[in-house]
Structure 1
Amino acid sequence: MVGSVASKFSPASSVQAKLLRVLKTTASPKSPTTPRESMEDLFVTFTDAHRKVLNLMVCNNPSLMSGSFSLLVNNPRVLDFDNKRNYFTQQLHRRPHSREHHGTLQFNVCRARVFEDSFQHLQRKSGEQIKHGKLSVRFYDEEGVDAGGVTREWFQILARQMFDPNNALFQPCAADRLTYQPNKNSWVNPEHLSFFKFVGRVIGKAIYDGRLLDTYFARSLYRQLLEKPVDYKDVEWVDPEYYSSLCWIFGNDPTPLDLTFRVEADEVSCISLKLIPVTQKNNREFVQLSAQYCLYSSIKDQTDNLSTGFYEIIPKELITIFNEQELELLISGTPDIDVDEWQAATESNGYTNSDPNIVWWWRALKSFNRDKRAKILSFATGTSKVPLGGFTDLQGVQGVRRFSIHRAYGDSDRLPQAHTCRFPDRRARLPN
């Protein structure tokens, strides 16, 4: 009796009742007493304040997201990655399509030409056919029935050949040589735009079929797929030296440099911008527009085609519940991070290994699950990918550099910071 009364008035039940009232108010098309903006603010404030309990409730009962709790995706930052992924998968497959209706995508490929052969077989298929069709792949001159293993290997080889320099589609980011950015000179390949659309379809198909790809892209490309605005800080990943210049312009008066709002493009680009002088009044606009060109405009055709292929398989309104770090995990999976190995390969600067902040840092990492560890690694290094050689093979601007933790002097209440590219090493800065 006591137990049943206690459960009836548990904190979770109380939060659920309050949330349902908030959701009912928010979902109401009109309220005679409360402006729409105030209702939305109430929803965001409430869900932010009760994030932990809400995630626990959804984790214990995922079906809640099929009802009124689905409105939580209107404030997706409150949902943990696992809960988002479960909701995403449920919504993605909620309308069953008969495999027989769309047929089997059966074709043969040569191991050395998996990318080209697959492109030729699939380019005439519609997005719906690729999305719902069952893949059945065979390698030339090899025996075996594809019960799943061959398709898995096909995805792995295809992912590697996407980045083959001979295709000229992608180039490694200068910061780490592990992540990739669309190549602005991909036009040397006559079929490059069709190839980019194909790459987008492959990524979408892998997500739809629950396959993981060993593909890691620049943060800015994930932001584009999520239709997020450009962040000039993403330039650091693609071009660290240019980013340093933009940072200086952002924080200083660039008038003596005689800069103008003009892009120095290569001979095949056609850029016409007014020769407006860059001053302290418009330096931040200049930095934003420069980042826009570097990350988006200079490779617009490439990313537009990749996005088009991706959205043919994955609904745009559904994928945007993730942030860029989570999208990387959705595409490439959660790595198995050995915290002891990471700790052994780390240098401390301004701290000793026995200082409380260092002890707390590693203790916290060891207590995290795989998803949280991957997010911390992505925050600290720019990607959740662990090099094949382990943490001792982490790449910096100047080659292999160890991960380091530096003391951040000043306000002890400041949050940890990460510098993924501006310094020779990968470094995290912890407050006193």
Structure 2
Amino acid sequence: MPGSTFFLKGLPWMPARLSNINRTIARCFPLEFKLSSREGNSDDCSTSDNQVLDNKKRKICRDFEATEHFLTCTAAKCKESNNYDALNTVIADIFSSPESISNYFCINGDSVELVDIIYVRKIYTILSDHFHSSVEERLFIATNGLMEHLQGGIDDQLLMSIIIIVYENPQLQSPEYFENVLPRLCQLVRSLSLPAKAELVRFWAKFNESQMLQLVISLQQYLTCTVVNILACSDTDILTSIDISLSNILYNLDMLYLANCLGGITRQGNLAHSEIVTNQASTTANADARSDQVGVFMRTVGGLRRKQDIRHHELQRLLNIDPAICRRPIVTFSAFYNEALSDAIDPRYDYRRFTVNDICLLDFPCVIMPFNKTQYLSLDCRLRQNDEIGAAIILSLLNRDVPNPFLIIRVRRDHLIEDALWQLEHVSDDNPSALLKQLRIKFVGEEGVDDGGLSKEFFVLINQEIFNPEYAMFRYNEKAGTYWFTPDSYETDAQYKLVGILVGLAIYNGIILDVTFPMALYRKLYGQKLILEDLSDCFPEIWQSLVNLLNYEGDVENDFMYTFKISYTNVFGDAVTVDLVENGGEISVNKNNREEFIRLYTEFLLTNSVKNQFDAFKKGFNMVTEDSLLKYLFRPDEVDMLVCGSKEKCLDFHELERVTYYDGGLTKDSTLVKDLWEVVHSFDEESKRKFLKFTTGSDRVPVGGLSKIRFCVIKNGDDSTRLPTSHTCFNVLMLCNYSSKAKLKERLLYAINNGNAGFGLS
């Protein structure tokens, strides 16, 4: 339009440099492409003769739209003529030095917030849309040269801006960038001061899912490639240490993980009012409370020694966040898992380095696969148990009373809870450290040495009794499929402490329980705030009613007719009323106070009504887990997987088949074995879960998948009408050599649908 300008507006070139670029463009496009006059149309890519600029009046202009338009026209002309010299010249000029890249993409100021990230992405998009081999090469050369310029003497603000801009390069996932650009980029991020790192994390925390995922994928591909190359150059497929290149990548991923969590926490705080929180400790208080958990205690025979500065704890403090409280990260937590590195690192060596404060994978739990985390937890548990055994040996050498190196529990089958409660209560009161010993179960009046099978049987049996509805310690919600504390249970605190101890011991001894708790339980164990959403897998009907109340746009007071007095049915079937506030029955719920009503109702159901029960449970749970790696390594949702297995909807029995071993004359090529797997693979999901429960005692998948089950199939005689049997304590299935596949299927389905999984019983 008249009066508009298009003279490379927004490009901060000095006149001499501008003249050189113009000559390059004029040489490439002598007729079609010249700099516009002030009278030219900014929407037209064809331009008139060069305009003489008044250097005294000329200021560096930040008209990003004009710059974007110019670059688009340049790219289009290059593509049309198949001559990319002009575009390559522009790329070289933009990305060749810290000063130029800052001039193009940054607004004068002292904050990375002044990086125009939208403009950066637009420029990269234009280049991506017109990528030619020479353009890709020129961008790589320019970026590589930029990295070489960053050798020191650059202030943190400029360095952060460059880091942000280079990380947006869509070509960063290309292998050629792995050799120099990404290594140098990761090193630069790590070299930033602590306040600069925090500012960078806050900047990334504002990214959306696709933007964050692009950064994570770039680093994950680089990390995997680095691991593969290291292993290819070595004589083994196991890494015993983390070198500087790996640690730099991990440090960058860890910062992205913090940004991912911070962004999620920020969004949680800004969500709609449907996410009303209960009155619990603030996020800040929770972060401070967990600060000591981040510095994990490492055991030695002589006592406790604190490992300092784990997980870049000081950066978390500065950001004032606790990643464990993040419910909805920007991208899923699993995006940070790196299977290649998790499987390559030998946990024994890594754990040893962890105990002496050397750099190790354990410093970066966010990248460790859940199954590999369980290996660390198991190793930590065994070492703690070995400490107890070592202490017993030392006392024996000193001719003192020698404690048993194992935690031995003797129980009668018909008095299981009574016997276990009495012994565990005695141990927890007199010698709590004994709970750290390896568990050994002895069934009174029975032969047998517990090498894991009897312990598993004990947990299966006691689990059935504790969560039996007639026992009334927990209430089962059929719609949610979860157990929650009974508000006014007549059971003692000691019994709830026992349950906490047993859940901790199950984790500690690698045993999956056939029970499902709502996520609210694990969040409470981590000291997190509970919100209305936590009712959804605990009291789904009440949760839905409260959501409806919250979103109702009509006359709340007269249509709902709620007051601040609620009622529930106790274990005896009697109705109990509770005032959420003083004289609650006289206060109607309306639009103005409904949020307070919902908050108080939620707080009553999840906190106040079960305070004694939960506190006792938590005390018992912490007796076993408090000094372990549990809360350092695992998020609340991962602890749920440890307790009751994975909640995978589809079971991959091909994984189980792959790791199964055979005995009693069977091999993987036996007709009976082939028939078995054909039958099992043909099952629907419900039958597969029944089969899993019949053979292992649980229909849940352990952390890491079915391939982590040590499963065995044994031939149990010739053809017969007998049903298949199982030893769930050892994950053993015993089959007769049935004469046909049809007979095998009929007998197996009858067993899993009508029989109980047993310990050697039909």
| TM-score, length-scaled by structure 1 | 0.64
Q: Partner letter of residue 423 of structure 2?
A: H
Which has the larger displacement, 214-223 or 14-23?
Answer: 14-23
- Please give the alpha-carbon distance, in whole angstroms, between the structure 2 residues aligned to 1:97 and 1:24: 39
Who is 1:144 aligned against?
448
Deviations 1:34-80 (A, max 9, x none): 2745456666663459955855333422556842654434xx4x654
Q: Partner letter of residue 308 of structure 1?
A: K
Deviations 1:343-372 (A, max 9, x none): 777xxxxxxxxxxxxxxxxxxxxxxx9758
Who is 1:170 aligned against?
474
- The answer (yes or no) to whether the contact 1:212–1:331 under 8 Å persists in 2 is yes
Who is 2:388 aligned against?
98
Which has the larger displacement, 117-126 or 290-299?
Answer: 290-299
- Please give the alpha-carbon distance, in whole angstroms, between the structure 1 residues aligned to 2:702 and 2:454: 27
Q: Partner letter of residue 328 of structure 1?
A: D
What secondary structure, in the 3-state scheme, does the structure 2 residue paired with 1:284 have?
A: helix
- Please give the alpha-carbon distance, in whole angstroms, between the structure 2 residues aligned to 1:322 and 1:11: 31
Q: 1:373 to 1:109 in 2, by over 3 A?
A: closer
Q: Partner letter of residue 72 of structure 1?
A: F
- Please give the alpha-carbon distance, in whole angstroms, between the structure 1 residues aligned to 2:188 and 2:608: 45
For residue 89 of structure 1, report the CA deviation from its aligned partner: 4.1
- The answer (yes or no) to whether the contact 1:220–1:234 under 8 Å persists in 2 is yes
- Which residues of 2 match residues 346-357 of structure 1 at below 5 A? none
Who is 2:581 aligned against?
273
Q: 1:238 to 1:23 in 2, by over 3 A?
A: same
Q: Partner letter of residue 502 of structure 2?
A: V
Who is 2:640 aligned against?
328
- The answer (yes or no) to whether the contact 1:222–1:324 under 8 Å persists in 2 is yes
- The answer (yes or no) to whether the contact 1:180–1:218 under 8 Å persists in 2 is yes
Q: 1:198 to 1:370 in 2, by over 3 A?
A: closer
What secondary structure, in the 3-state scheme, does the structure 2 residue paired with 1:135 have?
A: strand
- Which residues of 2 match residues 34-73 of structure 1 at below 5 A? 34=196, 36=198, 38-39=200-201, 46-47=256-257, 51=335, 54=338, 56-61=340-345, 66=354, 67=359, 69-73=361-365
- The answer (yes or no) to whether the contact 2:565–2:577 under 8 Å persists in 1 is no
- The answer (yes or no) to whether the contact 1:20–1:68 under 8 Å persists in 2 is no
Q: 1:211 to 1:373 in 2, by over 3 A?
A: closer
1:125 equivalent in alignment to 2:427? yes
Q: 1:271 to 1:333 in 2, by over 3 A?
A: same
Counterpart pick for 2:546 among 242, 246, 270? 246
Which has the larger displacement, 302-311 or 146-155?
Answer: 146-155
Counterpart pick for 1:338 among 651, 666, 671? 651
Q: 1:281 to 1:215 in 2, by over 3 A?
A: same
What secondary structure, in the 3-state scheme, does the structure 1 residue paired with 2:536 have?
A: helix
- The answer (yes or no) to whether the contact 1:175–1:236 under 8 Å persists in 2 is no
- Please give the alpha-carbon distance, in whole angstroms, between the structure 2 residues aligned to 1:229 and 1:131: 29
- The answer (yes or no) to whether the contact 2:460–2:513 under 8 Å persists in 1 is yes
What secondary structure, in the 3-state scheme, does the structure 2 residue paired with 1:242 have?
A: helix
For residue 10 of structure 1, report the CA deviation from its aligned partner: 8.0
- The answer (yes or no) to whether the contact 2:497–2:619 under 8 Å persists in 1 is yes
- Which residues of 2 match residues 139-218 of structure 1 at below 5 A? 139-176=443-480, 178-186=481-489, 188-189=490-491, 192-218=492-518
- The answer (yes or no) to whether the contact 1:278–1:286 under 8 Å persists in 2 is yes
What secondary structure, in the 3-state scheme, does the structure 2 residue paired with 1:211 have?
A: coil
- Please give the alpha-carbon distance, in whole angstroms, between the structure 1 residues aligned to 2:440 and 2:408: 5
- The answer (yes or no) to whether the contact 1:235–1:291 under 8 Å persists in 2 is yes
- The answer (yes or no) to whether the contact 1:179–1:217 under 8 Å persists in 2 is yes
Deviations 1:131-189 (A, max 9, x none): 3223332212212233332222112212222113343211211315x431111131x23
- The answer (yes or no) to whether the contact 2:564–2:580 under 8 Å persists in 1 is no
Who is 2:594 aligned against?
283
Deviations 1:193-235 (A, max 9, x none): 1111111111111211222222222232232223332232332
Counterpart pick for 2:614 among 303, 311, 325? 303
Q: Partner letter of residue 562 of structure 2?
A: L
Q: Partner letter of residue 185 of structure 1?
A: D
Who is 1:430 aligned against?
none
Who is 2:625 aligned against?
314
Q: Partner letter of residue 550 of structure 2?
A: F
- The answer (yes or no) to whether the contact 1:23–1:68 under 8 Å persists in 2 is no
| TM-score, length-scaled by structure 2 | 0.38
- Please give the alpha-carbon distance, in whole angstroms, between the structure 2 residues aligned to 1:41 and 1:71: 23
Q: Partner letter of residue 338 of structure 1?
A: L
Who is 2:374 aligned against?
85
What secondary structure, in the 3-state scheme, does the structure 2 residue paired with 1:167 have?
A: coil
Who is 2:23 aligned against?
none
- The answer (yes or no) to whether the contact 1:23–1:71 under 8 Å persists in 2 is no
1:255 equivalent in alignment to 2:552? no
Which has the larger displacement, 318-327 or 121-130?
Answer: 318-327
Deviations 1:373-397 (A, max 9, x none): 89xxxxxxxxxxxxxx99xx9xxxx
1:221 equivalent in alignment to 2:521? yes
Which has the larger displacement, 56-65 or 218-227?
Answer: 56-65
Deviations 1:69-124 (A, max 9, x none): 54434xx4x65423443444455556551325362333421112211111111211
> Relative CO higher for 1 or 2, CA cutoff 8 Å, sep ≥ 6?
1
Rg bigger for which structure?
Answer: 2
- Please give the alpha-carbon distance, in whole angstroms, between the structure 1 residues aligned to 2:615 and 2:538: 19
Who is 1:108 aligned against?
410
For residue 262 of structure 1, report the CA deviation from its aligned partner: 4.0
Question: Which consecutive residues of structure 1, in runs of 5 or more, have no partner in the other structure?
Answer: 1-7, 346-368, 375-388, 394-432
Q: Partner letter of residue 256 of structure 2?
A: F
For residue 261 of structure 1, report the CA deviation from its aligned partner: 3.8
- The answer (yes or no) to whether the contact 1:263–1:273 under 8 Å persists in 2 is no
What secondary structure, in the 3-state scheme, does the structure 2 residue paired with 1:241 have?
A: helix
State the Cα RMSD in Å: 4.1
Instruction: Percent identity, please.
Output: 22
Who is 1:421 aligned against?
none
- Please give the alpha-carbon distance, in whole angstroms, between the structure 1 residues aligned to 2:179 and 2:600: 47
What secondary structure, in the 3-state scheme, does the structure 2 residue paired with 1:123 have?
A: helix
Question: Which consecutive residues of structure 2, in runs of 5 or more, have no partner in the other structure?
Answer: 1-174, 205-251, 261-330, 393-402, 653-680, 687-700, 707-748, 754-762
- Please give the alpha-carbon distance, in whole angstroms, between the structure 2 residues aligned to 1:12 and 1:57: 19
- Please give the alpha-carbon distance, in whole angstroms, between the structure 2 residues aligned to 1:229 and 1:92: 29
- The answer (yes or no) to whether the contact 2:651–2:685 under 8 Å persists in 1 is no
- Please give the alpha-carbon distance, in whole angstroms, between the structure 2 residues aligned to 1:111 and 1:199: 18
- Please give the alpha-carbon distance, in whole angstroms, between the structure 1 residues aligned to 2:549 and 2:500: 35
- Please give the alpha-carbon distance, in whole angstroms, between the structure 2 residues aligned to 1:13 and 1:82: 33
Q: 1:24 to 1:196 in 2, by over 3 A?
A: farther
- The answer (yes or no) to whether the contact 2:535–2:602 under 8 Å persists in 1 is yes
Which has the larger displacement, 234-243 or 270-279?
Answer: 270-279
